[in-house]
Amino acid sequence: MTLDLNNYLKSIKSDARLDLSDETIIMTELEAHIEDKVKELTDAGLPQTEAIKECLNQMGNVKSIARQIYEAYSQGSWKHVLLASLPHFLFGLLFVLDWWHHPAWLSVLVIAVLATTLYGWSHGKPFWIFPWMSYTLVPVCIGGVILLYLPPGWSFLAVLVYIPLALWWFFRVIVTTIKRDWLFSSLMLLPMPIVIGWYLAVSPSGGFSEDTLKQLYQFSPWIGLSFMGLAATIAVFIRVRQRWLRIALLAASGLVTLCLIAYHSTGNINNLAFLGLLLGLWGGLLVPPLLERRLKNSRVK
What pTM was estimated for this model as a whole?
Answer: 0.82
In this structure, the answer to whether residues 60 and 104 fall within a common structural domain is no
Indicate if 68 and 138 belong to the same structural domain: no
Which pLDDT tens digits describe the chain residue by residue (301 residues)? Answer: 566 778 888 888 888 888 777 788 888 888 888 888 888 888 888 888 888 888 888 887 888 888 888 888 888 889 999 999 999 999 999 999 988 888 888 889 889 998 998 898 888 788 889 999 888 887 776 676 666 666 666 666 666 777 777 778 778 888 888 878 889 889 888 998 998 899 888 887 666 667 777 888 889 999 999 999 999 999 999 999 899 999 999 999 999 999 999 988 877 888 888 999 999 898 888 888 888 888 776 665 5
Which of 72, 91, 123 is the endpoint of a domain? 72
Signed CA dihedral, 206, 194, 110, 181: sign only = negative
H-helix segments, 161-270: 163-178, 182-189, 191-202, 210-239, 243-264
Answer with the one of 14, 40, 72 that is the final residue of a domain.
72
Same domain, 54 and 180: no
60 and 198 co-located in one domain: no
Q: What is the pLDDT of residue 259?
A: 92
Q: Please state the domain count of the chain.
A: 2
| Same domain as 154, residue 64 | no
Among 133, 157, 132, 131, CA closest to 144: 157
Q: Do residues 65 and 211 share a domain?
A: no
- Domain boundary residue, one of 11, 38, 72: 72
The three-class DSSP label of residue 204 is coil
Do residues 209 and 255 both lie within one domain?
yes
Q: Which of 129, 142, 126, 118 is nearest to 87 (CA)?
A: 129
Residues 158 and 282 in one domain: yes
Domain shared by 198 and 276, yes or no: yes
- Structural domain boundaries enclosing 274: 76-300
Q: Which residues does 231 contact at the CB level (< 8 Å), separation at least 6?
A: 85, 86, 88, 89, 92
Q: Are residues 112 and 19 in the same domain?
A: no
Q: Which residues, 6+ apart, have CB-to-CB distance to 109 below 8 Å?
A: 90, 91, 94
Task: Please give the Cα distance from 253 to 194 (Å, whole number).
Answer: 10
- Do 15 and 50 fall into the same domain? yes
Instruction: Identify whether residues 80 and 66 lie together within a single domain.
Output: no
